[in-house]
Amino acid sequence: ITSDMANKALNMNGIPFLGAILKLSRPSKYVGPIVQYKTWQELTGQAIPAGAVLDASAEEKVNRELFIGNTTPEMTESMIREFLGNAMIQVGLNSMPGNPITACRVSGKFAFIELRTPQEAASALNLNNIPYLGAQLRVGRPSKWNGVDKPHGNWEDILSKYMSGELTLPSQQQDTAVSKTVTMAVEKISSTSSSRIVELRNMVTMEDLSNEQEYNDVLEDIHEECSQFGQLVSVHIPRSNEKGATKIYLEYNSLEDANKTIQNLAGRTFDGRFVEANYFEEQKYLKREF
């Protein structure tokens, strides 16, 4: 490619492609002459799709970024981008055609995704707790985000709407990972949603369980904290040498109390960790099959 062609290519800045707005510019190490150019919209008269941004400031970019926790080593950047992007499309969280996730970068046990618009980033928060490759992905705002929190649901809420018929998947016929995820999750919820037992994860550590005083303090704190959501029948915290160690099991008097607990605790942070709250089968609880 010649320098003249490169200069002309700058005029394609802002060209739409697969639902995204492509940004073309010089690399940061470029030290050549500055050439004046127009955007694709100025050349063609096309308008930028509603909500999309062409030249994003750092402040605007952070509103389009989300933190993805609980990733596993086998999850690549492209896999996360495709899976979450398809999930948004299938449950109607995208605001325009194409994959709403424009970029993904993985760092250890977490990742960051960048969406096309702040609106789609806010919508993607509803994917929190979505299961993928044996893990429950945490979808939230990055630590540097300092905007105003707005109410949103999570993956369980989407499934509830799907089960009640309120939500119909646009791509339900397709044999995709998302479709399988929905089907498996619905089957799981159907088998456990009548349970009065709640399983909590990421609230205690092996260190807490190894020390007798710490164990008793945690047991007392959990009972006091979780009693505010309903009538607790029993609380069981397996010891460090028992099956189910680091998990907490709550037995409530009614299904409503168990559901209220899950709604209040799921996704909360405890000592820097995201709390997972799910139903647990009553028969397994009674038999101590953790």
Per-residue DSSP letters for 106-117? EETTEEEEEESS
**CA separation for the pair 98, 102 (Å, rounded):** 10
**Residue 149's closest CA among 116, 114, 122, 113?**
122
The tens digit of pLDDT for each residue in 247-264 reads 999 999 998 888 888 878
The tens digit of pLDDT for each residue in 210-243 reads 889 989 999 999 999 999 999 999 999 999 889 9
The predicted structure's pLDDT at residue 181: 57
**CA separation for the pair 226, 73 (Å, rounded):** 34
Beta bridge partners of 249: 199, 236
**CA separation for the pair 123, 166 (Å, rounded):** 17
The predicted structure's pLDDT at residue 191: 47
**CA separation for the pair 65, 267 (Å, rounded):** 18
Beta bridge partners of 252: 232
Q: What is the mean pLDDT of residues 16-30?
A: 76
Q: With cut-offs at 50, 70 and 90, classify the pLDDT of residue 73.
A: confident
3-state secondary structure (DSSP) of residue 248: strand
The DSSP letter of residue 126 is G
Is the confidence at residue 273, as pLDDT, over 50? yes
pLDDT top residue among 56 and 208: 208
Say if residue 53 is exposed, middle or buried (CB neighbours under 10 Å; 0-12, 13-18, 19+): middle
3-state secondary structure (DSSP) of residue 49: coil
pTM given for the model: 0.49
Is the confidence at residue 50, as pLDDT, over 60? no
**Residue 138's closest CA among 67, 187, 80?**
67
